[in-house]
Structure 1
C-alpha cells in the first residue's frame, strides 16, 4: 500500500488557503511514512487504519467532523497516527502486555511513540464493521515478519464502548493462532495476510475487538483496536430460482442425536511441504457444553500448530477438543478452529466426525 500526496492547495477549516503551511504539512506526512513497513488489522479495520483508508487523500475536509467525528479528532490530534497506521507497536515487552500497558491506554499501546496514538484511546462513536458472533480477523503483514502468536480479544457483553475507556478486565479471549512463519501466510499485494477465526458468543451491539500481534523477527508487540457491531450477519444472496425438485433423501441426524454436532473441513492455504485448514463445528438441535472432533490423515500429513482448539495426534489419527471459551454452543450455533500441517505430497481433505457433550 502506498500513500499518494496530492500536489494541490489544502483548504483549512476556516476556508483560508495557507500554501506554506500546506507544503510543510505535506512534507511532514511524506516523511511520516515508515521506512520499513509493519502491519495492522485491516478487517475489521483498526481505528487508525480505517481513518487512513477513508480520509487519507482528503484529511483536511471539514465534513469529516460531522461524518466521522472520531477520525476527525484523531487527525486533529496527530496525523502521523494515521500515516503510520502500521507502526503501533512497543518493543521489549517480553509478553507482559498487561504490565506494560495501563488500563485506558490499550488502543494506543500505552501511549507508545511518545503519545502519537493517544487519540485512539478516546471513547466514542468510532465507525463499526457489522459482524456475526463467528467471524474472522484479517491481519496484514506488510514486512512479512510472521507471528510468534496473534491473540484476538472481544469486550464482554455490557461494555459501553461509547463512554468507557478500554481496560484489560473488559476483554475476553475470542481467537488466537500460535507460531506461524510468514511463509505460511497468504501472499497479497504489498505483503502477506492471515485470517484468525474468532468466536464471541452472546455479544450484541457495539464492541471493541482488541488484537495483539507478537511479531517473529524481534520482541515487537502490536496493539490494535477495531470497532464492530454484533447482530448483523453477513447476508447471502438467495437463489434467483427456487429449487423445483425436493431432496431425494431426508437430512441425516448428526451423531449423538439431538444433542450432537457436525464438523466440516475446508482448506484455507497450501504451499510446498505444508498446508492450512479450518474445521467448523455446528451444534445440533439442542445446546451442547463441549465437542470433540476426530479424523484420520493419509500417510505423510501431520499437524504442526493449531488455534481455537486443543489438537493432539496419535499416528495418523487427529483429535481436536474445544478450548475453554468455545465449547458451549447454542442449538445450531457454530464455532471453528484451525491448524497448519506438514505434508510430503498434495494434502488430502480429511473427513472429520464430531461428538458432543450435552
Structure 2
C-alpha cells in the first residue's frame, strides 16, 4: 500500500489530458479505501463538500482557506479521503512533525496546516463526533484530541503539545455501523457518533483525530475546526477593496488568508473602456507590510511602496478584461489593506 500511495498521484496526473483532469476535478469519484471526519467535518472533507465545483471563483472570497488549499494542490480536495501514512508503528509524533499535523506530514495536504479562518462548526463542550470509513476496515483505534485552552487556530500551527487526548475508542469491527446507500460521496460506514467532552474550552479550537485502520498499519490524520460557546468572536474579514480608477485600468485587492506574521493576497487588474498593452499597479501598505514571493507579476519594493508590473503573458487586456496576480507577505501588529493605483500602457 505504501509504495502504491507514493506513486499513484504523479502517474495518474501524467496520464491524463487536461480536459479529462479538469473533469475529474469538477466531478470527483471517491476513493474506495479511505475516510475522514465528517461531523464536525475535517478541513479537507469540508472543502470538498462545500465546493463540488472546485473551479468556482466564489470560493476565493467566500472560503479563502479552502481556496488557498486548492491553489496549493487540488489533490488535497479531490482525494479528501486519502490523507494516509503507512507503517507508523503507533509512533505518530515521530512520523508527523509539529506544525504538520493537519496535513498528516504529507506534502500533498500541506496547505491544511496553514492557520487562518477555516470554516468552524459551533459545538457545545459536550458534542458528538463522527467518522466515515469508505473501505469498511474497522479500527485498531480512533484517538480524538481537542486543543488546550489558549491555543489560537487563527495564528498558530498545530503541535502535539497543544493537544489533549479526550477519547480513545479502542479496537472495533466495521460491522454494526450505519451505512449511506444513497450517498455517492459517502458510500461506506459511519463510525459514531462518539460523545466527546472538552470542558473549559471557549471560542475556536481544533478537534484532531488519528484513525488507525483495523486491517493494517494504515493511519489517517484530520483537523476539524470548531467553535465552543464564549471566547473572542472571529475577526471580520474585510471585503475586497473596490476598484481604484486610474489611467486606463483599475486594481482591487483581496486578502486570501492570514496567519501569525504572514499573509497571502491577490490583486485583480481590470482594463478600462479601451484595450491596454501593459499595466503597473502601485500598492502603498499602511502598516509596514513586506511583500515576498509573487506570481503573475514582476514586483519591486521601496520601503512600504510595492510596484507590480505585468509579465509577458498578461499585459495585453481587451476593454474591461481582467487578470490577477498574487503574492505572499509578512506583517507585524496589524495588516490593513494597501492603497492601490493602476496605470496602463497603450
Which TM-score applies when normalising by structure 1? Answer: 0.56
Aligned position for 2:47: 51
Deviation at 1:186, TM superposition (A): 2.5
Match of 1:71 among 63, 66, 70: 66
Structure 1 vs Structure 2 CA RMSD: 2.0
Match of 1:218 among 216, 219, 231: 216
Secondary structure of the structure 1 residue equivalent to 2:45: helix
- Cα distance in 1, alignment partners of residues 135 and 228 from structure 2: 31
Deviation at 1:127, TM superposition (A): 0.1
Deviation at 1:24, TM superposition (A): 4.7
Aligned position for 1:199: 197
Aligned position for 2:129: 137
Deviation at 1:191, TM superposition (A): 1.3
Residues 106 and 223 in structure 1, CA contact (< 8 A), matched pair in contact too: yes
Residues 77 and 119 in structure 1, CA contact (< 8 A), matched pair in contact too: yes
Deviation at 1:188, TM superposition (A): 2.9
Q: How does 1:240-259 map to 2 (within 5 A)?
A: none
Deviation at 1:27, TM superposition (A): 4.7
Residues 26 and 54 in structure 2, CA contact (< 8 A), matched pair in contact too: no
Aligned position for 2:22: 26
- Structure 1 residues 37, 31: CA separation in 2 closer, same or farther (over 3 Å shift)? farther
Deviation at 1:133, TM superposition (A): 0.5
Match of 1:91 among 86, 101, 119: 86
- Structure 1 residues 23, 216: CA separation in 2 closer, same or farther (over 3 Å shift)? same
- Cα distance in 1, alignment partners of residues 149 and 127 from structure 2: 17
Residues 147 and 181 in structure 1, CA contact (< 8 A), matched pair in contact too: yes
Which whole-Å deviations, capped at 9, do the CAs of 1:198-218 have from their partners, x for residues lacking one? 110000100000010010111
**Contiguous gaps of at least 5 residues in structure 2:** 1-15, 182-186, 231-346
Deviation at 1:121, TM superposition (A): 0.5
Deviation at 1:63, TM superposition (A): 1.6
Which whole-Å deviations, capped at 9, do the CAs of 1:145-202 have from their partners, x for residues lacking one? 1001001100000101001000000000112211110013223332111222211000
Secondary structure of the structure 1 residue equivalent to 2:175: helix
Secondary structure of the structure 1 residue equivalent to 2:152: coil
Residues 32 and 80 in structure 1, CA contact (< 8 A), matched pair in contact too: no
Which whole-Å deviations, capped at 9, do the CAs of 1:13-66 have from their partners, x for residues lacking one? xxxxxxx9961542553897465331110000000100010002x212222111
Match of 1:170 among 162, 179, 183: 162
- Cα distance in 2, alignment partners of residues 103 and 32 from structure 1: 31
Match of 1:228 among 221, 226, 229: 226
- Cα distance in 1, alignment partners of residues 18 and 95 from structure 2: 37
Which TM-score applies when normalising by structure 2? Answer: 0.57
Residues 44 and 112 in structure 2, CA contact (< 8 A), matched pair in contact too: yes
Q: How does 1:292-307 map to 2 (within 5 A)?
A: none
Residues 34 and 87 in structure 1, CA contact (< 8 A), matched pair in contact too: no
- Cα distance in 2, alignment partners of residues 218 and 31 from structure 1: 30
Pair 1:42-2:38 in alignment? yes
**Contiguous gaps of at least 5 residues in structure 1:** 1-19, 233-358
